[in-house]
């Protein structure tokens, strides 16, 4: 499957992701044991250009869901799947992972495991090279991806010499050069320090600004402060089921008791927003500390 369709053509096919009655069992780890149910009846639709956060307690199925969007589940992990997942129109059970790579890319949480040990520009060129893209076009895509991820100044450096945050951004650049319409990030900040997290957030927000409708972003994360600054919608999983689905950051405020009961941390901004709503009667949801500061400052001055 050659990646000939442009971003625009793919964007006009709606929705970007359609999940219908998805159930998935991992194969048993030891012979004789029962298979483990990881996803238990997921049905949802994601439109092109959306940025959706997926969260939930450990073991709730976030990673499995991410892998299911790329076809790795079930093609590489085995097990039993029911229902279906359509990504950019392709059925993840029928189309090979390598062919799906033209439409959907994933970046895993360990910065090391996304990279092949090549130089920065070779890592980014690797994907399009495999797809048989002409060299001139590859060069153009590499330049663009490195610039948008802020890595142009290290393009000849070997990938193992980069910091954790840079490696994550490189993995995203390598995914972007294949021009997917869906980008999936599985706990991207888990192994980053605060500086790395800030850089990554900045790069992703810039990416959304540049690509707009042409890129649908799915981010599985446990760091809700970071996530709410990036996404428009949050889905909460618990034991493989979708228990909450709503706009972000409003959902973090309105459903905070439920999320706390699931064992998730309540972001401080959500706590403050809830108090503010109670106190003033104005429903608010703050994505960033700056937004909260502005609202509270005017309230204090009143």
Question: In the complex with other proteins, which residue's Cβ is closer, 63 or 207?
Answer: 63
Q: Hey, CA dihedral for 213, 19, 145, 2, is it positive or negative? A: negative
Residues contacting 264, CB < 8 A, separation 6+: 55, 56, 57, 222, 224, 236
Supply the minimum distance, in Å, between the C-beta of residue 259 and other proteins. Answer: 10
142 near other proteins, judged by CB under 8 A = yes
Rounded (to 5) percent helix, strand, coil in the chain: 45, 20, 35
> Which of 115, 217, 229, 242 contacts other proteins by CB under 8 A?
115
- How far apart are alpha carbons 240 and 236 in whole angstroms? 10
Which of helix, strand or coil describes residue 30?
coil
Least Cα distance to 285 among 246, 257, 249 occurs for 249
Q: Does 285 bind other proteins (CB under 8 A)?
A: no
Contact between 97 and other proteins by CB under 8 A: the answer reads: yes
CB of 207 to other proteins, least distance (A): 19
- Inter-CA distances, 92 with 26, 117, 176, 222, Å: 16, 28, 20, 26
d(CA 185, CA 66): 8
Question: What is the x/- site pattern for other proteins, positions 195-234, by CB under 8 A?
Answer: xxxx-----------------------x--x---------
Whole-number Cα distances in Å, 101 to 57, 167, 178? 28, 20, 8
Site for other proteins (CB under 8 A): how many residues? 79
Three-state DSSP at 37 gives strand
Tell me if 250 contacts other proteins by CB under 8 A: no
Cα distance between residue 39 and residue 56, in whole Å: 13
Q: Is 155 in the site for other proteins (CB under 8 A)?
A: no
| The binder of other proteins chosen from 27, 78, 263, 282 (CB under 8 A) | 263
Should residue 132 be labelled a site residue for other proteins when binding is judged by CB under 8 A?
yes
- Do 165 and 197 contact (CB within 8 A), yes or no? yes
Interacting residues with other proteins between 25 and 54 (CB under 8 A): 29-30
Query: Stretches 78-86, 119-127, 146-154, 238-246: which one binds other proteins (CB under 8 A)?
Result: 119-127
Residues 179-198 that bind other proteins (CB under 8 A): 190-191, 193-198
Pick one of 9, 82, 91, 129: the residue that binds other proteins (CB under 8 A).
Answer: 129
Cβ atoms of 170 and 161 within 8 Å: the answer is no
Q: At its nearest, how many Å lie between other proteins and the CB of residue 101?
A: 4
Separation CA 134–CA 120 (nearest Å): 19
Using CB under 8 A as the binding rule, whether residue 21 contacts other proteins is answered as: no
C-beta of 124: minimal distance to other proteins in Å? 9
78 binds other proteins per the rule CB under 8 A: no
Q: Where does this chain touch other proteins (CB under 8 A) — which range of 39-47, 114-122, 212-220, 234-242?
A: 114-122
In this chain, which stretch among 41-49, 86-94, 129-137, 243-251 interacts with other proteins, using CB under 8 A? 129-137
């Amino acid at each position: 499957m050659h990646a000939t369709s442009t971003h625009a053509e793919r964007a006009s096919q709606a929705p970007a992701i359609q999940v219908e009655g998805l159930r998935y069992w991992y194969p048993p780890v030891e012979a004789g044991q029962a298979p483990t149910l990881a996803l238990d009846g997921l049905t949802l639709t994601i439109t092109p250009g959306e940025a959706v956060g997926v969260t939930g307690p450990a073991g709730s199925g976030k990673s499995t869901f991410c892998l299911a969007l790329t076809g790795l589940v079930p093609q590489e992990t085995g097990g039993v799947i029911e229902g279906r997942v359509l990504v950019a129109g392709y059925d993840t059970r029928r189309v090979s992972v390598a062919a799906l790579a033209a439409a959907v890319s994933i970046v895993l949480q360990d910065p090391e495991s996304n990279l092949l040990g090549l130089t920065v520009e070779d890592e980014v060129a690797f994907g399009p090279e495999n797809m048989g893209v002409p060299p001139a076009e590859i060069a153009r895509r590499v330049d663009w991806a490195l610039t948008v991820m802020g890595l142009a100044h290290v393009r000849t450096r070997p990938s193992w010499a980069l910091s954790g945050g840079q490696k994550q951004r490189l993995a995203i650049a390598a995914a972007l050069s294949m021009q997917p319409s869906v980008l999936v990030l599985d706990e991207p900040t888990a192994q980053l320090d605060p500086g790395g997290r800030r850089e990554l957030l900045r790069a992703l927000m810039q990416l959304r600004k540049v690509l707009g409708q042409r890129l649908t972003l799915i981010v599985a994360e446990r760091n809700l402060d970071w996530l709410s600054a990036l996404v428009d919608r949050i889905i909460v999983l618990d034991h493989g089921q979708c228990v909450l689905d709503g706009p972000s950051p409003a959902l973090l405020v309105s459903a905070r008791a439920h999320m706390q009961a699931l064992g998730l941390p309540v972001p401080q901004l959500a706590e403050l927003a809830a108090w503010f709503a109670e106190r003033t009667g104005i429903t608010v949801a703050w994505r960033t500390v700056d937004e909260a500061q502005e609202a509270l400052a005017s309230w204090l001055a009143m």
